[in-house]
């Protein structure tokens, strides 16, 4: 069967009509209207804890490593969740007079286990003096990042889009008006979901570096088109080299409990409260690296410019 495009309607040889505008475009808008979220929270909430930054885990960790976590006893974290399920002190409403920078990424951008002031994107915001829009989402894929960008990019006067996108084996697809993300970060099956993928496809494709690189390239290229069409520079960073003193080396079990601290330099460094995410020094290292990228490449990433 082949399809013929006629006045934006698709007509197959059997005579049934498939209305491209109403059946595709409007349905996509329906999907996009439900911003992907992998956590159970309501809009406009102020949360003290946030997966994987759980109170029960913190209490266990504090009993084991009080000197490392005492900072958070005196300085508790607050997660402000706005109307777009993003970590923000204000709701996202159309305001084309507001100059902003949009920041995309996973939990490292959202900032699980860390105070907002310690997140990498602050260094870019301080440099540009634009209002930061944090679209980071824990456990998310690059496809979810693109979807979030598509929903927000026309709300404000966007000056820059900055994307910290480490390669993870995470894949997203729409499922009954919501998005489902499958996480193969550790090259194993995520036990939280029932997979639509057959085992051979997971083994031969989804946990292969070539395929996840292709998946990332596809959505980053789509995002660059979205930005280029609006004259907005896009900056993308996949990897940052850390120094040994930046990192908390630890072993943890399947419940996210750290069972052993192998190495941690406490001089001028603070671990994430959940002891699973980046330390404050790692966040600073990412911020400095991406800030240099922004300073030295004003035009941003352009896959269509192959000079």
Strand, coil or helix: 99? strand
* pLDDT confidence of residue 303: 81
Strand, coil or helix: 272? coil
* Span 189-240, pLDDT tens digits: 444 445 677 778 888 888 888 998 999 999 999 999 999 999 999 999 999 9
* Span 241-267, pLDDT tens digits: 999 999 999 998 888 899 999 999 988
Cβ distance 65 to 73 under 8 Å? no
Calculate the average pLDDT of the chain: 84
Which residues neighbour 300 within 8 Å (Cβ) at sequence distance 6 or greater?
A: 160, 161, 227, 232, 233, 234, 235
Angle 135-55-187 from CA coordinates, rounded to 5°: 60
- How far apart CA 96 and CA 288 sit, in angstroms, is 29
- How far apart CA 184 and CA 63 sit, in angstroms, is 31
The predicted model gives 113-125 an average pLDDT of 98
Q: How confident is the model at residue 174 (pLDDT cuts 50, 70, 90)?
A: confident
Q: Which residue ranges does the chain devote to CATH 3.40.50?
A: 41-296
Q: How confident is the model at residue 44 (pLDDT cuts 50, 70, 90)?
A: confident
Hey, what are 223's tokens? 């995002």
pLDDT at 101 over 90: yes
Compare 190 and 84 and report the one with higher pLDDT.
Answer: 84
The predicted model gives 73-79 an average pLDDT of 96
pLDDT at 12 over 60: no
Q: How confident is the model at residue 165 (pLDDT cuts 50, 70, 90)?
A: very high
* Element holding 47 (H helix, E strand): strand 45-47
* pLDDT confidence of residue 255: 86
Q: How confident is the model at residue 2 (pLDDT cuts 50, 70, 90)?
A: very low
In angstroms, the Cα distances linking 299 to 20, 88, 157, 159, 239 are: 35, 27, 17, 11, 20
**Directed axis angle between helix 66-74 and helix 55-64, to 10°?**
130
Tally of residues, the chain: 307
- How far apart CA 181 and CA 146 sit, in angstroms, is 14
In angstroms, the Cα distances linking 11 to 21, 132, 230 are: 13, 46, 33
- How far apart CA 93 and CA 84 sit, in angstroms, is 10
Hey, what are 204's tokens? 């031969």
Sign of CA dihedral 33, 36, 41, 43: negative
- How far apart CA 196 and CA 44 sit, in angstroms, is 33
Strand, coil or helix: 92? coil
* pLDDT confidence of residue 289: 97
Q: How confident is the model at residue 31 (pLDDT cuts 50, 70, 90)?
A: low
* pLDDT confidence of residue 16: 43
Domain at 41-296: CATH architecture: 3-Layer(aba) Sandwich (3.40)
pLDDT at 6 over 50: no
In angstroms, the Cα distances linking 189 to 9, 22, 33, 197, 252 are: 41, 37, 29, 11, 17
* pLDDT confidence of residue 177: 67
Give percent above pLDDT 90 in the chain: 62
Which pTM was predicted?
Answer: 0.86
* pLDDT confidence of residue 20: 45
β-partners of residue 178 are 175
Read off the DSSP letter of residue 298.
T
């Amino acid at each position: 069967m082949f399809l013929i495009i006629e006045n934006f309607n698709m007509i197959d040889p059997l005579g049934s009509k498939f209305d491209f505008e109403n059946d595709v475009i409007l349905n996509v808008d329906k999907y996009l209207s439900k911003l992907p979220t992998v956590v159970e929270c309501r809009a406009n909430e102020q949360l003290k804890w946030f997966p994987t930054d759980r109170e029960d885990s913190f209490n266990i960790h504090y009993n084991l490593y009080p000197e490392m976590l005492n900072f958070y006893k005196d300085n508790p974290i607050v997660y402000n969740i706005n109307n777009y399920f993003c970590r923000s002190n204000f709701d996202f409403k159309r305001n084309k007079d507001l100059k902003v920078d949009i920041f995309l990424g996973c939990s490292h951008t959202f900032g699980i286990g860390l105070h907002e002031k310690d997140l990498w994107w602050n260094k870019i915001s301080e440099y540009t003096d634009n209002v930061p829009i944090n679209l980071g989402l824990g456990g998310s894929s690059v496809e979810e990042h693109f979807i979030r960008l598509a929903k927000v990019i026309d709300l404000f006067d966007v000056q820059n889009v900055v994307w910290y996108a480490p390669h993870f084996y995470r894949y997203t697809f729409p499922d009954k008006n919501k998005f489902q993300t499958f996480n193969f970060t550790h090259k194993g099956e995520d036990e939280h979901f029932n997979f639509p993928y057959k085992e051979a496809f997971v083994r031969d494709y989804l946990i292969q570096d070539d395929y996840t690189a292709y998946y990332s390239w596809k959505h980053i290229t789509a995002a660059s088109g979205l930005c280029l069409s609006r004259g907005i520079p896009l900056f993308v960073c996949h990897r940052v080299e850390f120094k040994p003193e930046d990192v908390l080396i630890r072993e943890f079990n399947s419940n996210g409990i750290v069972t052993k601290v192998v190495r941690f330099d406490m001089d001028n460094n603070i671990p994430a409260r959940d002891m699973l995410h980046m330390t404050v020094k790692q966040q600073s290292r990412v911020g400095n690296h991406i800030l240099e990228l922004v300073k030295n490449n004003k035009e941003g990433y352009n896959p269509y410019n192959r000079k």
